[in-house]
Amino acid sequence: MISVELAIASINQEVKGTSHHEIIPLEKSLDRVIAQNIHTPIAMPPFRQSSMDGYAVYVHNLITYEIIGEIKAGDNHTFELKKGQAVRIFTGAPVPDTANAIVIQEHTHKKDSTLYCENTIAIGDYIRPIGEQIELNNLALSPNTTITSSTIGFLAGLGITTVPVYKKPSVSLIITGNELAQPGEKLNKGQVYDSNSIMLKSALTQLGIDIVTIHHVPDNYEDTRHLIASTIKQSDFTIISGGISVGDYDFVYTALQEINVKELFYKVKQKPGKPLYFGKKEGHFIFALPGNPASALSCFYIYVRNAIFLFENRNTRHLNGTLKKATNSFIKKGNRAQFLKAYTEGNIVEILDSQASSMLNSFAVANALVYLPEEKQQITPEEMITVIPIS
Ligand code: AMP
Ligand code: MG
């Protein structure tokens, strides 16, 4: 049995960022990770642009100017100004080459075609020079940037329509358990509904992984071994639910050994999720999660998500958690590290009831996990504790 810290360190060491990338449409790229340098095909702004509504002027020493025309945003005609002349201009419009300042309209008044400037004018006022934001062919964004709405806006503003992003991992789920019925079916005595398939699939959807193959297998050794052996080849990650504990009908561990999966760790000194397994074979990663739904989900957020983020070349620093103030107390039984379902808002965090690994009722309303390390026995109100986001 290894500690939580060593288990996470093992994942950090083993899972390398993928080098595979694909070019996708900009509008589909939200939350993906940029895989190559992106250079801008245009300067931004592409022309000398007025940043205010007012007058473009060719500065001289008098306060009066002769207005000779008008340029609005989108116009592509221009004027040849002589010293002392001005054109009416609007935000975003191209500034004539001969104009050397914009006077904002609030600082002027006008009589017929004569403009009176009320303040002193500095050369260059309110003119955005070509390439002020970024010059032609310069680096706009570099690899490992996670694409947000503002990234998309920035690239769209440069006229870019496609982006190179790292490939998402392919993921397969294997759900073990003779006792499982699917929601919607009649529940016979001895059966429970399968929470984990749809729950883990949703947790993957939350990470932007939509294509997930789900396999079900009864608790028998041969079927388990065959299914695992064929599935792991097909996916970057195989996530197995249940059958990894020590019961007579838990066949996952023996099957993984039999098919020569390299064990990286098995059993973590934590609650919930002690029987967690992580291994690899020929570049494919395998997580076996305990079947108890809260254990499975807790292990997903703490370990599997971390591994997927590493694979995607995504920054995982925020998964280390932040310190927040506890509103209530908690006393730990035993000496394993513990992940507690919690609800956080702002800088405070409340530990929820129903922490048992079989129960999802508090997880259903939780938005964070609180980490209680091995050496820490209790939480007292007002104390600062480690909170890991799950949403
Ligand atoms: P296992 O890890 O296979 O020993 O399962 C531990 C507990 O989790 C048992 O009570 C199972 O019935 C339950 N369980 C296993 N898989 C699922 C699942 N997919 N959905 C809901 N409960 C499950
Ligand atoms: Mg089972």
The closest residue, in CA terms, to atom 15 on ligand 1 is 291
pLDDT of residue 322: 95
201, pLDDT greater than 90: yes
Span 121-145, average pLDDT: 97
150, pLDDT greater than 80: yes
pLDDT of residue 154: 98
pLDDT of residue 289: 98
pLDDT of residue 320: 83
Is residue 151 one of the residues assigned to a domain?
Answer: yes
Q: Which residues are found with C-beta within 5 Å of the ion, ligand 2?
A: 177, 242-243, 291
Place of tokens 């971390």: 306
Same domain, 162 and 178: no
pLDDT of residue 317: 72
pLDDT confidence tier of residue 161, bands split at 50, 70 and 90? very high
Is residue 317 one of the residues assigned to a domain?
Answer: no
Q: Quick count: other Cβ atoms within 10 Å of Cβ 281?
A: 17
Same domain, 175 and 157: no
Same domain, 25 and 155: yes
Q: Give how many domains the chain has, as a whole number.
A: 4
Same domain, 161 and 290: no
Span 159-176, average pLDDT: 98
Identify whether the C-beta of residue 55 lies closer than 8 Å to the C-beta of residue 121: no
Span 236-252, average pLDDT: 98
**Average per-residue pLDDT in the chain?**
97
pTM exceeds 0.95 for this model: no
Same domain, 66 and 139: no
Same domain, 180 and 160: no
Q: Token pair for residue 130?
A: 């070509």
Same domain, 29 and 90: no
For the CA of 176, the nearest atom of ligand 1: 16
Closest by alpha carbon to 390, among 316, 302, 314?
A: 302
The number of residues making up the chain comes to: 391
pLDDT of residue 315: 79
Span 316-328, average pLDDT: 89
302, pLDDT greater than 80: yes
Same domain, 180 and 115: no
| pLDDT, tens only, 339-378 | 999 999 999 999 999 999 999 999 999 999 999 999 999 9
318, pLDDT greater than 80: no
Same domain, 215 and 234: yes
Q: Give the CATH number for residue 156.
A: 3.90.105.10
Q: Which bound ligand lies closest to the C-alpha atom of 296? A: 1
Residues 6+ apart with CB under 8 A from 354: 341, 361, 362
pLDDT of residue 319: 76
Q: How far is CA 112 from CA 99, 103, 212, in A?
A: 21, 17, 70
**Helix or strand run (H / E) with residue 228:** helix 221-234
Identify whether the C-beta of residue 265 lies closer than 8 Å to the C-beta of residue 350: no
Residue 268 DSSP code = B
55: buried, middle or exposed (CB in 10 Å: 19+, 13-18, 0-12)? buried
Cα of 356 vs centre of ligand 2, distance in Å, is: 17
Same domain, 122 and 53: yes
Closest by alpha carbon to 12, among 283, 243, 316, 270?
A: 316
N-to-C CA span, the chain = 29
Span 184-201, average pLDDT: 98
Percent of the chain with pLDDT over 90: 98
| pLDDT, tens only, 83-114 | 999 999 999 999 999 999 999 999 999 999 99
In the sheet that holds 212-217, the strands lie side by side as 212-217, 171-176, 237-241, 284-289, 277-281, 262-266
Is residue 303 one of the residues assigned to a domain?
Answer: yes
Q: How far is CA 188 from CA 179, 216, 241, in A?
A: 9, 18, 21
pLDDT of residue 112: 97
Q: Which of 276, 311, 346 is the last residue of a domain?
A: 311
Same domain, 235 and 341: no
Domain that includes residue 108, residue range: 49-128
The CA R_g of the chain, rounded to the nearest whole Å, is 31
pLDDT of residue 323: 97
d(CA 162, CA 147): 12
Q: Which of 128, 150, 177 is the last residue of a domain?
A: 128
pLDDT of residue 73: 98
Q: Give the CATH number for residue 300.
A: 3.40.980.10
pLDDT of residue 370: 98
Q: Give the CATH number for residue 95.
A: 2.170.190.11
Span 278-291, average pLDDT: 98
Closest by alpha carbon to 339, among 302, 308, 391?
A: 302
Is residue 68 one of the residues assigned to a domain?
Answer: yes
Pocket test for ligand 1, best of 187, 188, 192 (most atoms within 8 A of CB): 192
pLDDT of residue 258: 98
316, pLDDT greater than 90: no
Cα of 352 vs centre of ligand 1, distance in Å, is: 22
Q: Quick count: other Cβ atoms within 10 Å of Cβ 116?
A: 14
**Helix or strand run (H / E) with residue 12:** helix 4-14
